[in-house]
Amino acid sequence: MASIFSFLSTISLLLMFVFFLSLSLADSSPIFNTPETLCDSTPYPPFCKSSLPYNKPGTVQDYARISIANSLTNARDFLSLVQHYSSLPSTSHESTNILALEDCQFLAQLNIDSFSYALQTVNRSNDANLPGSLAVDLLTLFSATLTNLETCLESLQVSDSSILNNLTAPLSNGTQYCSTTLALFCHAWVPHPEKGRLLAEGKDIFPSMKNGARKSFRLRTYESIMGRKLLQGFEDGVSVRQMVVVNQNGTGDFANITDAVNAASNNTASSDGYFVIYVVAGVYNEYVFIPKNKKYLMMIGDGINQTIITGNRSVVDGWTTFNSFTFAVVGQGFVAVNITFQNTAGAIKHQAVAVRNGADLSTFYNCSFEGYQDTLYTHSLRQFYRDCEIYGTIDYIFGNAAVVLQNCKIYSRVPLDDQYNAVTAQDRTDPNQNTGTSIQNCSILASAELAASNGTTKSYLGRPWKEYSRTVVMQSFIDSLIDPSGWSPWSGDFALATLYYAEFNNTGPGSDTSNRVTWDGYHLINATDAANFTVSNFTQGDIWLPATGVPYFGGLL
């Protein structure tokens, strides 16, 4: 009898093994879909179905690759169209049209670069074998392609109506391509993007550096600037490939910042270290642009209100918002320390940007941003601001990056008589974009002139520039300048149900939420939800921030 039970037990074990093996094989087999089933989960189902091979079975990864290739072709076609209009005789369109077309040409080329890189990357990978950190990198790029098209449209909207009419349909077509690609990519490779916890895995971008060295750099370098001991500070910490000095008196390597930027090598890797530009105290009246090929550039000044970069371009004076900047950066891995950035156009000139940032993995530490409307343009990709000061009136922190501001002081100023203050205007346009503005452990305050005014100016935490606007204010001090309702609508009920505005564990007289707006998109969140908008989870900062030497905390306080 015992032998019979032993035999039956062995048979049972074998049957169980075969059963679980069959499950394992089934799980590892590719799941085939058709556009009919896949496209219903994208923002534009009819367009998605028309752009993919009809009724041809394939994996979601197959269709994602096709969609990326389609988006690349569309981006190239759009660039050709913009170049056609740009080539027309200048007498046929005004200067504002020229600037708008220049914006679109620049942004279209960025999209071509992003889709080209993404297509090469996914074609090299196995269907289900895209590392988590790389998946987030591509998700960030795809999110930015939508932002770039939206920015092009915004520039064209202030240009000649005939050019806008001719490019509106191609822009709409491009937006649907980008949105479809973003959605299919999320289904194919990105786990649960809506939860914000996208850092599945990752490698340090400066793998040769040790944590102790990073701490040494943080403590020594930035505190030794006034003593001119830069090299001593860099020895133990950040990898530096070259250092130059900018001094207006002619004693440095360069007399202006732009020449120093141009001297940096092109397209360096993160492992090559930083090209460091030390900008000696002074007022630099120049418009600085750091292009995409100037990567891992670090710019260090002598301190807020010591090293000042200033300009006064504005929309009223004929510039597009995108090109009204005093300082703009696109090159990946940029770091700025101890610098004041100004746009002095004033409230009367409306949109006037001090800094426009479209650089992935970029950091500003102990910097000041001074302007009125549209001061800090956090345009796209992943950004971090620590111990900074931001001054403005309307929408003065705006854009569609995945950005965390930490330990910053945010000052509302006196606007024009018929205006109110809005600290943020976040412009997320697609539910699959991994973007938003996170304000953590900051102080939201009235500037000295606003505090001394008659007190009739209303101030709000933000308003929804675009349909899926997303802003979180957490663990921050909110002073009494903020209206009890907290947030302002943009126009009527636009975006009030689709936006995501949230507050968590704030303090101060303006933090009372008992009279806040009652929109469907407004939330009082708990610690679990707030953790999604921390440096570690929202910007994957644990991978790239330690190498900068800039202090930060990755989670909640």
pLDDT at residue 175 tops 50: yes
Q: Quote the pLDDT of residue 5.
A: 36
Q: Quote the pLDDT of residue 37.
A: 84
User: What is the rounded distance in angstroms from the CA atom of residue 177 to the CA atom of residue 108?
Assistant: 13
pLDDT tens digit string along 177-235?
A: 999 999 999 999 876 544 334 333 333 333 333 333 333 334 344 444 444 444 444 44
Q: DSSP letter string over 78-95?
A: HHHHHHHHHTS-GGGS-H
Element containing residue 300 per DSSP (H, E): strand 297-300
First to last CA, the chain: 66
Q: Quote the pLDDT of residue 489.
A: 98
Among residues 363, 371, 361, the alpha carbon closest in space to that of 393 is found at: 371
User: What is the rounded distance in angstroms from the CA atom of residue 274 to the CA atom of residue 239?
Assistant: 6
Q: Quote the pLDDT of residue 136.
A: 95
Q: Quote the pLDDT of residue 30.
A: 58
pLDDT tens digit string along 265-296?
A: 999 999 899 999 999 999 999 999 999 999 99
Are 144 and 380 spatial neighbours (Cβ–Cβ below 8 Å)? yes
Q: Quote the pLDDT of residue 3.
A: 44
User: What is the rounded distance in angstroms from the CA atom of residue 59 to the CA atom of residue 246?
Assistant: 54
pLDDT bucket at 529, cuts 50 / 70 / 90? very high
pLDDT bucket at 33, cuts 50 / 70 / 90? confident
219 vs 344: which has the higher pLDDT: 344
Weakest-pLDDT range from 231-245, 295-309, 484-498: 231-245
Total-model pTM: 0.89
Task: List the catalytic residue out of 302, 374, 387, 395.
Answer: 395
What are all long-range contacts of 551-557, with beta carbons under 8 Å and residues at least 24 apart? 551/218, 551/365, 551/386, 551/387, 552/384, 552/386, 552/406, 553/406, 555/531, 556/474, 556/475, 556/527, 556/530, 556/531, 557/440, 557/441, 557/475
pLDDT tens digit string along 377-401?
A: 999 999 999 999 999 999 999 999 9
Among residues 137, 125, 138, 119, the alpha carbon closest in space to that of 76 is found at: 119
pLDDT (mean) for 314-321: 95
Among residues 258, 262, 327, 341, the alpha carbon closest in space to that of 294 is found at: 262
User: What is the rounded distance in angstroms from the CA atom of residue 323 to the CA atom of residue 377?
Assistant: 11
Two tokens, residue 526: 């708990």
pLDDT tens digit string along 413-441?
A: 999 999 999 999 999 999 999 999 999 99
The mean pLDDT of the chain is 87
pLDDT bucket at 158, cuts 50 / 70 / 90? confident
pLDDT (mean) for 254-272: 96
pLDDT at residue 160 tops 80: no
Question: Which domains are delineated in the chain?
Answer: 31-189 (1.20.140.40), 240-548 (2.160.20.10)
pLDDT bucket at 32, cuts 50 / 70 / 90? low
Q: Quote the pLDDT of residue 161.
A: 77
Name the amino acid, one letter, at 419.
Q
pLDDT (mean) for 103-126: 95
User: What is the rounded distance in angstroms from the CA atom of residue 504 to the CA atom of residue 472?
Assistant: 8
In percent, the amount of the chain with pLDDT more than 70 equals 85
Weakest-pLDDT range from 55-69, 133-147, 358-372, 468-482: 55-69
Q: Quote the pLDDT of residue 67.
A: 97
Two tokens, residue 290: 């750091």
In percent, the amount of the chain with pLDDT more than 90 equals 75
Q: Quote the pLDDT of residue 417.
A: 92
Residue 536 CB contacts under 8 Å (≥ 6 apart), including other chains: 199, 542, 554, 555
Q: Is 189 helix (H, G, I), strand (E, B) or coil?
A: helix
pLDDT bucket at 138, cuts 50 / 70 / 90? very high
pLDDT at residue 91 tops 60: no
Active site residue 395: yes
Q: Quote the pLDDT of residue 520.
A: 97
Q: Quote the pLDDT of residue 129.
A: 74
Q: Quote the pLDDT of residue 456.
A: 86
Q: Going along 321-458, which residue ranges are E strands?
A: 327-329, 335-337, 340-343, 355-357, 362-365, 368-370, 376-378, 382-386, 389-392, 394-399, 402-406, 409-412, 421-426, 436-440, 443-446
Can you name the residues that pair with 298 across neighbouring β-strands?
276, 335
Are 163 and 85 spatial neighbours (Cβ–Cβ below 8 Å)? yes
Two tokens, residue 31: 């799941």
CB atoms within 10 A of CB 203: 10
